[in-house]
Chains A and B, each alone.
Chain A
Amino acid sequence: MTGDRPAPDALAARLAELLAQAALKNQRAFEDLYALTAAKLFGVALRILRRQDWAEEVLQECYLSIWNHAGDYAVQKSAPLTWMTSIVRNRCLDWLRRPQQEASGEEYEIAVEAWQDDSPGPMESLMASSEAAALARCMQQLEAKQRQSIMLAFHHGLSHSEVAGHMKQPLGTVKTWVRRGLERLKTCLSAPA
């Protein structure tokens, strides 16, 4: 979060323009798009995959996919960064679906420590970004256990059973927290501020 960044709306407009250029196979525009988004998307991939080499491979595949499908973005109704982030998240989750790709126990423990260090990070940055102010407000209104289980699942790509293991709670309980938390978030986000 550096101060010389364009405001969220200006950034979104710029990214949409670069995607349109990439659809026309403008490689310079695509390089600019990469420069503006790669660190965000690499962060997303690394938090979910927890392995540098996997995250690099997935990021490469995702940018090739974005290059090949930039034209399809025109018919999407999403913000550019939302569209690109979803491509990365989905590719990461596909990657983890392969049974042989499960992180080993040791890496898992290291990763857990890392989360504990940065666990206030995402929430703080969220509050700093006006774009996400509503989401931050609504996240804060959740019960702590709902908020934590949603963050572990969404932010770190944990499955229900991994969240349950991490929070030392029964699977059914965790599923309920996630489901109720999401319902409350939706209601809160659709209410006027």
Chain B
Amino acid sequence: MCGIIGYAGQRSALPILLDGLKRLEYRGYDSAGVAIVGSGLQIVKDKGFIANLEAQLTPMTGTTGLAHTRWATHGAPSKVNAHPHTDCHGKLALAHNGIIENYITLREKLEAEGHVFKTETDTESLAHLIESFYHGDLEEAVRKALHEVRGSYGIAVVHADEPGKVVGARNESPLVIGIAPGETFLASDVPALLRYTDKVVYMMDKEMVVLTPGGALLKDLEGRAVHRDAQRITWTLEDAEKGGFEHFMLKEIHETPKAIHETLLGRVANLELDGLLTEDATSVKLVACGTSYHAALVGKYIFEEIAQVPASAEIASEYRYTQGATERPLVILISQSGETADTLGAAREARRRGCKTLCICNVIGSSLSREADATLYTRAGVEIGVAATKTFVAQLIVLYLIALRMGLDRGTLGYEEAERLKDELRSLPRAVLAVLNKEPMIQDLAEVYGRDARDAFYIGRHVNYPVAMEGALKLKEISYIHAEAYAAGELKHGPLALITKDTPVIAIAVDDPTYEKMRSNIGEVNARGARILAIGTEGDRELPKFADDLITVPRMSPIFSPVPVSVALMLFAYHVARLRDCPIDKPRNLAKSVTVE
């Protein structure tokens, strides 16, 4: 999802354009650029953060301009591919969202006419096409060019010879006009404008607009004026964005299947690892904090089982201050924001020790991604709730993908087995959906277990031991109930002393090699009178004899079970916190990304 903003007014355009870009950040991007018309046309663009761009800007003066954030989907994110694009003479700048379907034909024609192309993008052919029609009237040139174009577009265009003017057009890619006294705006989304005006006109397909400080002229592609009344925006950003859900956390839990789809996209068939040669690594070290650390702990089992490579997990703030063994593991750093101070410090430490580093994060262009040798993004979309939900699952998905690739590269994983694992990986969105469909029942169980609880214990074994830890963390974070997780085998070494009939126990007992052991652990707890909520596998007829209540997840290879099980535990924690009227999206004392050490 790319973002466009355009401005024609009397103030300096640059700060307004940069602010607008930041408000479009949530759409995701990997490169950004600005064009300002003042004395001539000035363009600055680069890949990465808007902050990168800001750092390079010499003060650009001019009261007209446009800016763009690009999210490369095919074609690499790079400085040259970033928008705005220009014509042969650097007089015209164009920002474009959408796809020009007939760009190859256009490009061949324009090249035959002598136009020189600098990039492989479809957008650049549109810039040259407008140039070929330009005879002193930008509006006319854009109109003629659009008659030759097939595809979707939202565009903004400026020309050095026509300061004070921005021309926009849309077809199947949103654009909205903002109107204020003495200035006009164009943006792909309302939030980019809200700081400057609440008066907007939505453009429709096959419409053009000419922005000048005096006002916006809306026309159709034949040049006939279109009249449409401006609308007043009355909503606030936060209300709108919850999309009918009571809390961001619940919205984000329900976005988990989508997060998995996006994270898998194009990577199951072939995972690109930025040239990082995983077959060279003799071991893997996973380093992270908080929820991401729990993903790292699950990762240890994933790497050992799928890639058959030794793996260990460490808390970032601990790893940084250890001496470090002589081996050189591949260090995988996990952080949702990519800004976690301790994880960043750990990345630097890993590199100092001569290790290759791979980072898993959700925010494009984050500090961690700049620090690491390679980055795999989780593509879970913006997460606003402080308690991590969909991003935890997306982190697991990336770990499965890396382990698969590593197993294939190292020859420890056969083709047939890999194909079977890929099929299971592809089925995970459905497995999560099956859990989401059980929400009404989980809500009822939250009432039974969570209403009056002061403490709660989570138990699991093997790959679901860290999942139990994550379940306990979720409950602590948002419901303020004291919750602890134990490896079920450790119960008899101490914690059993804490179990009474008033402490609910949540036990993960899916169908895996530890199932029998888990069942006897549940029996031990049962004997102390605690009420037990078990998470088991669909079709399990034995478990109800040992546990008081049961939430089931679809049958799958045990190594994948953390995905649906963790979602069940998120829903459980959410509904407990909701019953207890806790400020779910902003728990006390906690911040979304911890940028202090």
The answer to whether A and B assemble together is: no
